[in-house]
Chain A
């Protein structure tokens, strides 16, 4: 403890969340596996896309039908929610960084963005499976799809920007600004693509409301994936902070010599 007090400036790591992180990871694994099993074994099949009459979507006739592909929904939606939460945290820490200029918050923001990227990519993959099997096309410019594509592009650009600036201070500031802009931009993107009437695409209506078993299954999956996201965040954050700590120690040693 005494040594720690002497070297106040070293990047610290290993706060209380790191102690609960393994437990949370375990819980996340159990819960999401449980959710996976529930989705296939317990929840009954649901009517998929309900189209007004029979409609031609991307070369195949679609009407109401029982869909096994609806099971994707139990993962698609939680993953999307987790990705958005991660993005919100990235922007929150970016604001904290701009206010304090502490390296710690920059690392927080960066790691949250990495988690967001992972979950956004998972969202895109599950979403692609959904559009392919339910709507019969690989891609449509539907508001949610478009928004997530844009979100993914911004997150990727964020990491390219991070690596394209040499000075660490400057790179941190620029990435903080971009993550704040991303959080503002994405809801606008969703709103714009949704509110502007489009006469070209068929309107695909979803059955409103969920039954109780669907809701429970969804909640289990969401909780599990949130835990996984948190554990990933802590693990990566810990690793990043430790490597920064090693760097700082090396520098102090060099200065002392």
Chain B
């Protein structure tokens, strides 16, 4: 009698990721709440900017506002990403299975990133739609896809580690924000800079777009490696 073959790490990763995606697409719990929340933040921005004069100056602020929207929305999503794992006792089951904890981290980070990207794909066109009357982005505006991708990868990576930590704490929503915002600050700064450069265009673009993007990518690599290594301790604690 032959012993059953142990599934490869990639197969485990695919299974875990498929589980997260299937659960989400059946309930649509997280996507709906994140999407509606993003819309509400846009409404708040609309009120905040209701007395702003239309003009090119708005472009310099708009990338920052867009990233504020992304940060708040992703905080909401990250908070929820682990709560139902805990509620149903799913996490304990996962830890009992003979899995490498790094695989759990990667699959969770990927699913968080997928949800974040889906919400961004809805929210950013909406953002443009509501505020296009104030100013028009430069021709290089489409390049902002790059910082948004890089930023989402970083947010999902470090955010997964932090949300695993905070899901076991008292007052977890506030705790996640307290840890997440300062730690993600460098990434946010670089991404805002790159996005502003893309939207404004011109000299600023040539000067800072690539530098900012490279720094953001460097942050991603370092932080995801660190989170991957540290995740083993966190999830087992």
A residues apposed to B, CB below 8 Å: 98, 150, 153-154, 156-157, 160-161, 164-166, 169-170, 173-174, 176-178, 180-182, 184-185, 188-189, 191-193, 195-197, 199
Contacts and interface: CB of A to CB of B under 8 A. Distances in A.
Q: Across chains A and B, which 8 residue pairs bring their CB atoms closest together, nearest first?
A: A153-B182, A164-B169, A173-B237, A192-B186, A157-B178, A189-B186, A170-B237, A154-B182
Contacts of B175: 157, 160-161, 164
Interface stretch (B33-41, B63-71, B79-87, B222-230): B222-230
Interface residues of B, number: 36
A32 B202 CA distance: 52
Contact of B190 (A150, A157, A196): A196
Nearest to B178: A157
A184 B226 contact: yes
B230 A177 contact: yes
Nearest to A185: B183
Nearest to A152: B182
Contacts of A169: 237
29 contacts: A150-B185, A150-B186, A153-B178, A154-B182, A157-B175, A161-B166, A161-B175, A161-B178, A161-B179, A164-B169, A170-B237, A173-B237, A174-B234, A176-B233, A177-B230, A177-B233, A177-B234, A180-B226, A181-B158, A181-B161, A181-B230, A182-B183, A185-B182, A188-B219, A191-B215, A192-B190, A193-B186, A193-B189, A197-B211
Contacts of B237: 169-170, 173-174
A153 B177 CA distance: 11
Contacts of A173: 233-234, 237
A184 B222 contact: yes
Interface of B: 158, 161, 165-166, 168-171, 175, 178-179, 181-183, 185-187, 189-190, 193, 204, 207-208, 211-212, 215, 218-219, 222-223, 226-227, 230, 233-234, 237
Nearest to B231: A177
Contacts of B234: 173-174, 177
Contacts of A193: 186, 189
Contacts of B182: 150, 153-154, 157, 185
Nearest to A153: B182
Given A153-B182, A164-B169, A196 B212 contact: yes
Given A173-B234, A192-B187, 12 more contacts: A154-B179, A170-B237, A177-B165, A177-B234, A178-B179, A181-B223, A181-B230, A191-B215, A192-B189, A192-B215, A193-B186, A195-B211
A170 B186 contact: no
Contacts of A150: 182, 185-186
A154 B183 contact: yes
Contacts of B193: 196
Contacts of A153: 178, 181-182
A252 B37 CA distance: 53
A31 B17 CA distance: 59
B141 to A, nearest CB: 19
